[in-house]
Amino acid sequence: MRALLLLPFVLSSVFAGDASIIEKTPGLVAFWTFGEDAGQKRVSQGTKEAHPLTEVNGPIKRVAGGPFSGYAADLNGSQYFEIKHSETGDLNIAGKDAQVTMFAVVRIVNLKKSRTIAGMWSEGKGANDDTGTRQYAMLMNMPTYGGPRNLVPHISAEGGVTMRADGTKFPWCADYAATKLEVPEEQWCTLAFTYDSQYIRAYINGVLDERKLDAVKDKRNDPYFTKEGPDGKDRGMNPYYHGRGIFKYDPAIHAKTKIAPSDFTVGARMAVGSMTGEATIGRFGGLAVFNRELSDEEIKKLHDAADVASIR
């Protein structure tokens, strides 16, 4: 009898969150809770398409403790999940007026190595390589244009490197928002970003972490950042103005000039010619993608649903 009385407490300390809140939020495209054991595909729940995530480089360990299933996927920096481009379905969010939101419940280890949450993002071989097929991604710790140890969600209109209004190019994709706060390490947190076809917004633990542009400190004194925003003003940092939409791969246009279209990946991305050079170490307890911009209030509601303080 005593064991039965203790059971609810045991369950609540492991199974912290309320998945129904995420499932009932309009625009949900994919929602993984990572309850499946190693060797199994992780399947989206509460969505039209199943979006099974396939393990890459061996079985990915399942560990106890997670917000929605009571478990999490434990990534080691050399493994990740993927969905091939041809199977991405409604995860393939692209176009001039496209909107997207991503929400993750994670416990990140070692930000020096761990740079990638998820997205459709293939950079190619490195600097000045314009053959990339980037679309959208939640990334971390990108100091090149101001974002060391910060949450830095990216959107690309070109797929390759960022292009100024005069047609000249940056060596990298430079279009990302950056928080003031660092991404928490070795503690459960929620990370999120939204894109409404005009602005990228980054959230840590349910809060929009607003940040104004400091052109010199943030390494964004190029006129692209300071004069190509709305009404000839700056683009900001968080929110960050990016009014050109999301790259859409078209074989008729891009087959000869671009690498293969991006897969959807979790925990890693193609960067500087490698899938695992900036792959993430840490635990993934929940990941959701929406095909619209969620409001500040909706992001806070998702964060509260995860109840990260109760995850053990």
Mean pLDDT throughout 140-145? Answer: 97
Given a cut of 70, is residue 3 above it in pLDDT?
no
Domain range enclosing 269? 24-310
Phi, psi of 14 (to 5 degrees): -105, -45
* Residue appearing with tokens 């074989």: 251
In the chain, % helix, strand, coil (3-state, to 5) comes to 15, 30, 55
Please indicate, yes or no, if residue 218 is contained in any of the structural domains: yes
Please indicate, yes or no, if residue 175 is contained in any of the structural domains: yes
Indicate the number of domains in the chain: 1
Alpha helices by DSSP H, the chain: 2-14, 19-23, 223-226, 251-254, 296-306
Please indicate, yes or no, if residue 37 is contained in any of the structural domains: yes
Express each pLDDT in 253-286 by its tens digit: 999 999 999 999 999 999 988 999 999 999 999 9
Mean pLDDT throughout 33-47? Answer: 99
Please indicate, yes or no, if residue 2 is contained in any of the structural domains: no
Express each pLDDT in 45-60 by its tens digit: 999 999 999 999 999 9
Please indicate, yes or no, if residue 136 is contained in any of the structural domains: yes
Answer yes or no: are the C-beta atoms of 62 and 99 closer than 8 Å.
no
**3-class DSSP assignment, residue 120:** strand
Please indicate, yes or no, if residue 271 is contained in any of the structural domains: yes
Per-chain mean pLDDT for the chain: 95
Confidence of residue 5 (pLDDT cuts 50, 70, 90): very low
Express each pLDDT in 233-254 by its tens digit: 999 999 999 999 999 999 999 9
* pLDDT for res 126: 85
Given a cut of 50, is residue 209 above it in pLDDT?
yes
Given a cut of 50, is residue 11 above it in pLDDT?
no
Phi, psi of 225 (to 5 degrees): -85, -35
Please indicate, yes or no, if residue 9 is contained in any of the structural domains: no
Q: What is the CATH classification number for the domain harbouring 122? A: 2.60.120.200
* pLDDT for res 15: 66
Please indicate, yes or no, if residue 18 is contained in any of the structural domains: no
Dist. CA 251–CA 245, nearest whole Å: 19
Dist. CA 165–CA 158, nearest whole Å: 12
Percentage of the residues of the chain whose pLDDT score is greater than 70:
95
Beta-ladder partners of 208:
203
